[in-house]
Amino acid sequence: MEEETRLIHAGKTDGLPARTVSPPVQRGSTVLLPNATALYDGTLGYGRAGLSAQFALMDALAELEGARDIQLYPSGLAAMTAAILAVLKAGDHVLVVDTVYRPVRYFCDRVLRRFGVAVDYYDARLGADDVLAQANPATRLIVLESPGSLSFEMQDAAAIAAAARTRGVLTLLDNTWGAGRLYKPLAHGIDISVQALTKYVCGHSDVFMGSVATVDAGLVDLMKASIQDHGWSVAPEDAYQALRGLRTLATRLDRHGESGLAVARWLAGQPQVLRVLHPALPGAPGHDLWKRDYSGACGLFGLVLKPGSPERVEAFLDALKLFGLGFSWGGFESLAISCDQQLNKRVVPVDYGGPLMRLHVGLESPDDLIVDLQGALDVYAG
């Protein structure tokens, strides 16, 4: 053979030279089939569906979620929009919790409506009967997020799921806060459990990914068909990182939860603080539901300051040294944002009584974080 041919075929590896703890990062669009029959017999034939690292991650996430099937998407938002699209058609109606992550609302308003799906938003504080009272014969899906983005309203997801089921309506829950570990949506009757793996599963603020978990065989088929039809795919390196994060998820969440609660308790006693919106804090909104259904808390919660000007809110944030100012959460680092500018799209106005802030408590010492917050609250007090 000519050298140009030998260079193409040399260096092939059939089988792994050694077994490692984690899966190999197999890169490949082309998958070589063993024989002609395998071309069309349903054998994995193309790398977009995932290779060793993606399959190992899907297996591990199925274990975490108690799912029959996991599909992976290149971001949490993509997982939400893909799952919603997979079960809806023109003429359907969807009920979405008003506190949903804002980009999901944009998707519903701009994309679903354009394709003939009617969208209504419901108050996150409503019980199951009142939510279902807003359904109509065209309602196909209820989208929940619990606790709600930015303001941490807890929903009785199990009751909503049970009531929806009797009406033939599907439920989908964004469980990024529960991370598949603190709350198990599928075990509580939710049909579709979605999480932004970007947050706690990946855990290091450097990978985007999302997952959709289902048990029902019909839904599994719908999600598999949808991922094929839309062509979503995640990179093997990213899947590897997500799997690596998953290995330490439980340990990290324990620490985020303990530290978050310590900081929340301290904040609740500060004169500049009106309310702490932390579902695991006794007396906070939604605490009873959290206690009933959750095995722990993560590091994300809300905080309402006593009324103060926007300039003072900015001064509070700018005075923080350990808390970075950033829109994400779930990583090892502490973060803070102000939220009021994000609430204007909601259809149910809620007066929180003062500036609404969101904190993510990372893996630093909670004592150091408290010192940092004390300094910023002093600045806020002027």
| Residue 61 interacts with ligand PLP (CB under 6 A): yes or no | no
Q: What is the dihedral of CA 197, 198, 203, 205, to 10 degrees?
A: 180
The footprint of ligand PLP on residues 285-344 (CB under 6 A) is 328
User: Least distance to ligand PLP from the beta carbon of 109, Å?
Assistant: 16
User: Least distance to ligand PLP from the beta carbon of 63, Å?
Assistant: 21
Report the side by side order of strands in the sheet with 170-174. Answer: 69-73, 210-214, 192-196, 170-174, 139-145, 93-97, 118-122
Judged by beta carbon, residue 107 or residue 316, the one nearer ligand PLP is: 107
| Residue 146 interacts with ligand PLP (CB under 6 A): yes or no | no
Residue holding tokens 């599994």? Answer: 220
| Residue 176 interacts with ligand PLP (CB under 6 A): yes or no | yes
Judged by beta carbon, residue 29 or residue 344, the one nearer ligand PLP is: 344
Which residues are designated catalytic? Answer: 48, 101, 174, 199
The 91-120 contact track toward ligand PLP, x by CB under 6 A, reads: ----------x-------------------
Q: Name which position in 193, 198, 211, 272 contacts ligand PLP (CB under 6 A).
A: 198
Peptide bond into 147 cis (omega under 30): yes
| Residue 174 interacts with ligand PLP (CB under 6 A): yes or no | yes
Residues in Cβ contact with 231 at an 8 Å cutoff, skipping those fewer than 6 apart: 48
| Residue 239 interacts with ligand PLP (CB under 6 A): yes or no | no
Q: Name which position in 54, 75, 99, 139 contacts ligand PLP (CB under 6 A).
A: 75
Q: Name which position in 53, 56, 57, 77 contacts ligand PLP (CB under 6 A).
A: 77
Judged by beta carbon, residue 13 or residue 344, the one nearer ligand PLP is: 344
- Chain residues that interact with ligand PLP, rule: CB under 6 A: 75-77, 101, 145, 149, 174, 176, 196, 198, 208, 210, 328
